[in-house]
C-alpha cells in the first residue's frame, strides 16, 4: 500500500529562489493529506502534478504565515473548479475565524462544505481514523501554540500463503478465519493450521511531521517509535542560542530527536535562508544520525 510524502515547500519564513514555505502532501493508502499550506502551495501542486481535488483533509500546524497563508488560495481554487466533496480542515481554533472572515469579506459562498476540526495544543489527540490508518496531533514547543502530526498504519492481519490457498482450495470465509488465527477443518477432515500457512503482515510504518519546534522531550514522547520523522532544522548548531530564543531547532538537535525516538529515517527541512548551502545541515545531522536526508521541493519520499 502507498505511503509516500511529496515535499512542496521546506523553507523557513519567507519564500526564496531556493525554497518555498512549508507544505507537503502525504499519500497514505491512496488518501491524500495536505500538511501545512504556505504561500504558493497550489502552484507547487500544479508544478509537481499533485491532484488537488483528491485532497480531502488539510492539517495546519500553527498560525505563522509561512505555514498557512496559501490555504485561502487553495480553498478558493477548489471553489472555482467546482469541487463537490467536503473538505476537512484541522488546525488551531482561531484558523476557522480567519477562514470565515475572508470568505465573508469577499462575499464568497463556497460550492462545497468545509468541516473544521479544532486541534488541541495541550495534549496528543486522535484527529483522524479509518479502517487502516490513524492520524494524531501533538503539541510542539514553539513561540505560539503549534501542533505536529503523526500518521500511522493500523495493525494488519497476517497473510495466507498463496500456494496454500491453491493447495487446499480455500474459500474466502476460511481465509478470513486463518488470518484471525483460527484453524480450519476441511470437508475431508484435514485440519489447516493457521500458524503453518500464514505469513506475518508487513511491518507497520509511521510518519511524524515536526515543524516548527524547539528541541523538546515532550515532542519525543509523542512520536516515540515512529519510523520516519520530518523535523525542522532551521539553524546550524553554531547558532543554537538563536534557535532557543526563537523556539526552533538545529540540525544536530533534529538528528538527536530522530535517534532518541528510534526512527529509521530523518528528513531535515524548514531551512533558514541565511545559509547558502543546505548540505551543511546534512553534515551536522549525520554526526548524530546517519540515515538523514535533506528535503527539497518536488522530492517524493517513500516511507518504510
Task: Just list the catalytic residues.
Answer: 66
- d(CA 39, CA 26) in angstroms, rounded, equals 18
- d(CA 278, CA 18) in angstroms, rounded, equals 10
Specify the 3-state DSSP secondary structure of 184. strand
Cell of 149: 502530526
- d(CA 24, CA 269) in angstroms, rounded, equals 11
Residues 66, 71, 73: CA angle, nearest 5 degrees: 115
Specify the 3-state DSSP secondary structure of 152. strand
- d(CA 45, CA 55) in angstroms, rounded, equals 11
Angle at which helices 93-105 and 71-80 cross, to 10°: 50
Sheet containing 292-294: order of strands: 125-129, 133-139, 147-153, 206-210, 228-232, 265-269, 292-294
* Nearby residues of 12 by Cβ (< 8 Å), 6 or more positions away: 21, 22, 66, 212, 232, 234, 248, 270, 271, 272, 273
**What is the phi/psi pair of residue 17, to 5°?**
-70, -15
The dihedral through the CA atoms of 157, 162, 167, 171 has a sign that is: positive
- Contact between 27 and 56 (Cβ < 8 Å): no
The candidate with the shortest Cα–Cα distance to 219, out of 120, 128, 138, is 138
Amino acid at each position: 500500500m502507498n505511503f509516500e510524502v511529496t515535499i512542496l515547500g521546506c523553507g523557513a519564513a519567507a519564500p526564496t529562489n531556493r525554497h518555498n514555505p512549508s507544505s507537503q502532501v502525504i499519500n497514505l493508502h491512496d488518501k491524500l493529506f495536505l500538511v501545512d499550506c504556505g504561500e504558493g502551495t497550489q502552484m507547487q501542486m500544479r508544478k509537481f502534478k499533485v491532484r488537488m481535488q483528491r485532497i480531502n483533509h488539510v492539517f495546519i500546524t500553527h498560525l505563522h504565515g509561512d505555514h498557512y497563508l496559501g490555504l485561502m488560495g487553495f480553498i478558493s481554487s477548489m471553489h472555482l473548479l467546482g469541487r463537490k466533496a467536503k473538505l476537512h480542515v484541522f488546525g488551531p481554533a482561531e484558523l476557522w475565524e480567519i477562514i470565515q472572515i475572508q470568505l465573508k469579506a469577499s462575499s464568497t459562498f463556497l460550492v462545497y462544505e468545509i468541516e473544521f476540526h479544532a486541534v488541541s495544543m495541550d495534549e496528543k489527540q486522535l484527529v483522524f481514523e479509518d479502517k487502516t490508518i490513524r492520524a494524531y496531533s501533538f503539541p510542539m514547543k514553539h513561540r505560539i501554540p503549534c501542533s505536529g502530526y503523526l500518521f500511522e498504519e493500523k495493525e494488519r492481519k497476517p497473510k495466507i500463503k498463496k500456494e496454500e490457498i491453491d493447495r487446499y482450495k480455500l474459500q474466502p470465509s476460511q481465509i478470513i478465519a486463518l488470518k484471525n488465527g483460527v484453524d480450519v477443518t476441511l470437508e475431508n477432515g484435514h485440519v489447516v493450521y493457521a500458524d503453518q500457512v500464514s505469513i506475518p503482515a508487513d511491518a507497520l510504518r509511521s510518519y511524524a511531521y515536526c515543524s516548527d519546534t524547539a528541541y523538546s522531550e515532550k515532542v519525543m514522547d509523542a512520536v516515540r517509535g515512529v519510523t520516519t520523522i520530518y523535523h525542522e532544522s532551521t539553524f546550524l548548531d553554531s547558532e543554537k542560542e538563536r534557535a532557543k530564543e526563537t523556539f526552533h531547532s538545529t540540525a544536530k538537535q533534529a538528528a538527536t530527536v530522530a535517534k532518541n525516538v528510534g526512527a529509521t529515517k530523518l528528513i531535515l527541512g524548514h531551512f533558514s535562508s541565511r545559509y547558502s548551502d543546505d548540505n551543511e545541515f546534512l553534515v551536522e545531522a549525520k554526526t548524530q544520525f546517519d540515515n538523514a536526508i535533506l528535503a527539497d521541493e518536488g522530492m517524493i519520499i517513500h516511507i518504510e
